[in-house]
Amino acid sequence: MDKILNVTLVGVGGQGTLLASEVLCQVALASGRDVKKSEVHGMAQRGGSVVSQVRIGDKVHSPLIALGETDVLIAFEKLEALRHAHFLAPDGVAMVNDQEIRPVTVSSGQAEWPNDLDGMLRSAFPKLELIPALAVARELGNVRAVNLVMIGALSTHLGIDDSIWRESIAALVKPQFVELNLKAFEAGKSAVTACG
Amino acid sequence: MQAVSANRRVLSGNEAIAHAAWAAGVELASAYPGTPSTEILENIARHHPDVYAEWAVNEKVAMEVAIGASFAGARALTTMKHVGLNVALDPLMTFTYIGANGGLVIVCADDPGMHSSQNEQDNRTLAKFARVPMLEPSDSQECYDMTLEAYEISERFGTPVILRTTTRINHSSGIVDLGDFTRKPRGDRAYEKDMTRTVMVPMFARRQRVALEEKLARLSDYSEKSPLQRIERGGKTGIITSGISYQYAREAFPEASILRLGMTFPLPKTLIREFAASVDKVYVIEEGDPYLEEQVLAMGVDVRQPEISLRIGELSPDRIERLAAEVHGEAPLKPKEAVGNLPARPPVLCPGCSHRGVFYALNRLKATVLGDIGCYSLGAFPPLSAMDSIVCMGASIGNAHGMQKSGSRDAGARVAAILGDSTFFHSGITGLLNIVYNRGMSTVIVLDNRTTAMTGHQQHPGTGRTLMGQESVEASVEEVARGVGVKRVRVVDPYNLEETFDVLKEELDSSEPSVIVSKRACVLSLKAREIHQFSVDLDACKACGACLKLGCPAIEITDQPSPNGKGRKVRINPVLCVGCGMCAQVCKFDAVKEAVSP
């Protein structure tokens, strides 16, 4: 039995983390692997933190990943990356979208935004890849494509055939957005190379 | 490597149950939305329009509708969250005496850890209490397979069957092989009039009570031999488990022997004894109450009881790994520590939420507010801080009446009940009638946003549209209130803060019962948002903080100090602002202005 790959996706409600985890599941299915995904709907969607976990392997039992056993942490927002740092394995990789979204506790003055977030990220994550996904998506003309840029970046770590990624994306997004999302996926792959 | 086929899909537990209901030949599905069960009926309506599916006004009605279909010989489904079964328990407790004609399956979705609930009751006890056979799937594939099996059991033994899930089963996804995925044709079960079986007056109920025990004995035999029970042979440590707990146990105890129970009522007592005898020591791993443990202990089996308690909250791989360390006599695992002191990101009322104006007024009126179940529970938190209690669906109205009638002076003169439109139709109407009949004087505020917002925008009697997309009568909160005898019925636009405040004050100070309908559509359900937005003139802003009392996520504090240096000025985040204009109304310095459309 090979080792299970554990991926945790975190972000803020509305950023498209759920679609990203769906793509990952579809890719696992299409490449003949077992997969489980866990996420919680409901109250968390009202602008709160969102966590989604995907496990891929020959046989997966638990849909949840134990703390400290995530191999790849995909963070759509920097504060959320830090909040879930203890999810990551000691040799795990953190891929963090270079975007800050201030929670209402900060915008209303009840809490302070950390003044050295980048420094905190660097010390929390020995293997940190900061991905300019928002800038890349903006360049493509749609900020909502951030999630596919991050998926493109993730794909460089998994060694799964490119065509499977592309087919899975095409199967999951609305026909009119396939082209944009595939472009975002490609741009995400290059973004890693650029910052790597 | 598995072959890829069209009928192998990644499905959530809820999607799998929906597809299985269709494949099982279910003719009718009725439910009230409730996290984590809601998506089952949504998926039936979306993918299988050949199944009649409806949102019932509440779980009791849904259960009664499903029972009616079963009477008629059709296969029926009802789904609910755990607390929904409390509402639906009345018909269920007696229907077990009658028994099913057409197969009837009740999906009961528990929420350990209270991701989106007010308690974490473990409904396995209710299955035993009501004497309903219970199946517990451990993943999406089993959600599919066990739903099909549940209908077979239901018709073979003439009993409703509970499919008991938990949030982590409903909302997790896995690969499901749907097999040939065809719909079972309608069976030949007819409705046959038989008062001795279906009219539960004492003389017949006493007979059916005895018959029920005989039925349970036959179900116990089935439970012993059912392929739903599975032994995985391993070492001399034995684990008895079910549901999601099995998955965590299997990973944390790779060497152990495991008895995985798929049917947890009635329990297979012989099988459990034989399993216990085949290992050196037995542990029970289960989430929530000691439901299995107590029954296994009562059988005289020596169940080990570890130091680590699994009783409160949701189980996780971490908790079971810590248990494994204790069982193996290893050093306790050190919990992984999170980075401290980060600003929290709690859920908040959305920018432009129509509830905000009412809570803002209630805060200013210093009212005691008995609350209810919905997004508006967020009105309890600062800065709005305008809700005092949450008990259960519809409780706000009875609570307010009781507080008012109790003669207590501590609550102050202004006592109100507040609840949403869907909650009002669910179980608010009877409470309102009770106020009128008993000469109460409470003010009931109905936050009428024309949808069931919290569970993801389902239709309800006030929306004028059914689950299957048909147009229907649009029930009016105002007319219902007048119909039960309320003389003072007011309608306000919560975006108009002054009007809302004045009407609330007038009604709270009145000595007659009243209903205030706060009417504005949920901002999330608006298809085309109005483009106008607001912005802050930083020269005019005095950093007084009045707008911050609205608790709107779009209003942000800037780095610019006020002239006296005591506060910081604000701005409005243009990405979040939907243009409700409440902040412009509370600004005394005219600093908030409607922005020019781009």
φ and ψ at residue B468, rounded to 5 degrees: -85, 10
d(CA B133, CA B150): 9
**SS3 category, A76:** coil
- Residue keyed to tokens 């003169």: B413
The 8-class DSSP code of residue B565 comes to: S
Give exposure, A155-171, as e/b (b: 16+ Cβ within 10 Å).
bbbbebeeebbbebbee
Q: How far is CA B305 from CA B98, B226, B241, B300, B490, in A?
A: 40, 28, 14, 14, 59
Average pLDDT over residues B517-524: 92
| Predicted local distance difference test score (pLDDT) of residue A42 | 56
A107 to chain B nearest CA, in Å?
A: 4
Q: Nearest to residue A123, comparing CAs of A85, A178, A95, A153?
A: A85
| Predicted local distance difference test score (pLDDT) of residue B333 | 82
Is residue B32 predicted with pLDDT exceeding 90?
yes
**Are B290 and B299 a contacting pair, CB within 8 Å?**
no
Q: Tens of pLDDT along B485-497?
A: 999 999 999 999 9
Look at chain B and count its residues.
Answer: 598
Query: Which residues of A fall within a CB distance of 8 Å from B551?
Result: 104, 108
Is residue B529 predicted with pLDDT exceeding 70?
no
| Predicted local distance difference test score (pLDDT) of residue B50 | 97
Domain that holds residue A19: 5-195
Domains of chain B by range and CATH?
8-225 (3.40.50.970), 230-327 (3.40.50.920), 356-525 (3.40.50.970), 533-595 (3.30.70.20)
Query: Which residues of A fall within a CB distance of 8 Å from B246?
Result: 61
Nearest CA in chain B to A50: B345
| Predicted local distance difference test score (pLDDT) of residue B358 | 98
Share of chain B above pLDDT 70, in %: 98
Subunit contact B247:A61, Cβ cutoff 8 A = yes
What DSSP string describes B174-208? EEEE-TT--PPPP--------HHHH---HHHHHHH
d(CA A136, CA A153): 12
User: What is the band of A44 on the pLDDT scale with cuts at 50, 70, 90?
Assistant: low
Nearest CA in chain A to B383: A108
d(CA B40, CA B84): 15
As a whole number, the mean pLDDT across chain B is 94
Q: Tens of pLDDT along B191-233?
A: 999 999 999 999 999 999 999 999 999 999 999 999 999 999 9
> Mean pLDDT highest for which of B70-74, B328-332, B525-529?
B70-74
Q: Which residue has the higher pLDDT, B345 or B86?
A: B86
∠ CA B59-B65-B68, rounded to 5°: 145
CATH number at residue A34: 3.40.920.10
**Are B382 and B344 a contacting pair, CB within 8 Å?**
no
Q: Tens of pLDDT along B48-68?
A: 999 999 999 999 999 999 999
| Predicted local distance difference test score (pLDDT) of residue A1 | 46
Is residue B1 predicted with pLDDT exceeding 50?
no
| Predicted local distance difference test score (pLDDT) of residue B597 | 54
Is residue B598 predicted with pLDDT exceeding 60?
no
| Predicted local distance difference test score (pLDDT) of residue B448 | 95
Nearest to B175 among A34, A48, A49 (CB): A34
Report how many domains make up chain A. 1
What DSSP string describes B81-102? EHHHHHHHHHHHHHHHHH--SS
d(CA B580, CA B275): 64
Q: What ipTM was predicted for this assembly?
A: 0.95
User: What is the band of B340 on the pLDDT scale with cuts at 50, 70, 90?
Assistant: confident
Q: Is B557 in the A-facing interface, judged by CB distances under 8 Å?
A: yes
A22 to chain B nearest CA, in Å?
A: 9
Task: Give all strands (DSSP E) within B202-354, no chain letters.
Answer: 230-232, 237-242, 257-261, 263-265, 281-285, 303-304
* Residue A58, token pair as written in the block: 């020959």
pTM tops 0.90: yes
Pairing of strands A34-39, A49-57: antiparallel
